[in-house]
Amino acid sequence: MMHTHQGRKSSHPWYYLLGGKRLSLKEIREEARASSYQGYLSEEINSADRLPEPRRSEALRGIRSRAFASLARNASRYRVVCRELSAHRAAGLDQPPFTLSDDVHRAVSLKHNHLYNDFAHLRAIDELLSRQLDLFGF
């Protein structure tokens, strides 16, 4: 379930502008795990799943490898923008009246969404890889 603060979901910049909690990677992973969302690679994942074995497993592992690399890059950047958000808040820059979110709010929101997609891809792929199809079609 997506975290909310003052009616805004953690995927939205205003969640952070209005003082929403910076989520841990584990919390973002749990948000993705609780949804049925497969991420923007769902068509590619489903196409790979329709291949015959062993090409199916090979293709899914390749997509998984790319998704994991993306997760590592996005997690690193997420930590940086979360530190920037902390500094922004400590400087007292999140004060009403609110008219527009700042770059830092959009950056945290964007990285949250990238991580959410990465976790959704990995969950979907791991579910498919947990069942191996019959190699001989029986």
Q: Return d(Cα 124, Cα 44) in angstroms, integer.
A: 11
Question: Which pLDDT belongs to residue 136?
Answer: 57
Annotate 111-125 with b (16+ C-beta within 10 A) or e (fewer): bbebbbbbbbbbbbb
* Domain-located, residue 107: yes
Q: Domain for residue 66, yes or no? A: yes
Asked whether residue 100 is assigned to any structural domain, the reply reads: yes
Q: Locate 13 and state its tokens.
A: 């910049």
- pTM of the model as a whole: 0.91
Do the domain assignments include residue 89? yes
pLDDT digits (tens, 9 = 90+) for 19-53: 999 999 999 999 999 998 999 999 999 999 999 99
Q: Domain total for the chain?
A: 1
Give the pLDDT confidence of 57-71 residue by residue, as tens digits.
Answer: 999 999 999 999 999
Among the ranges given (44-48, 78-82, 124-128, 133-137), the one the predictor scored with the smallest mean pLDDT: 133-137
> What percent of the chain shows pLDDT beyond 90?
83
pLDDT at 134: 59
In-domain check, residue 58: yes
Predicted confidence at residue 91, as pLDDT, reads: 94
Domain that holds residue 102: 12-33+41-129
Q: What does the pLDDT look like over 105-116, one tens digit per residue?
A: 999 999 999 999
Smallest CA-to-CA distance from 63 within 121, 114, 6 is with: 121
Per-residue model confidence (pLDDT) at position 9:
95
Residue 7 in domain: no
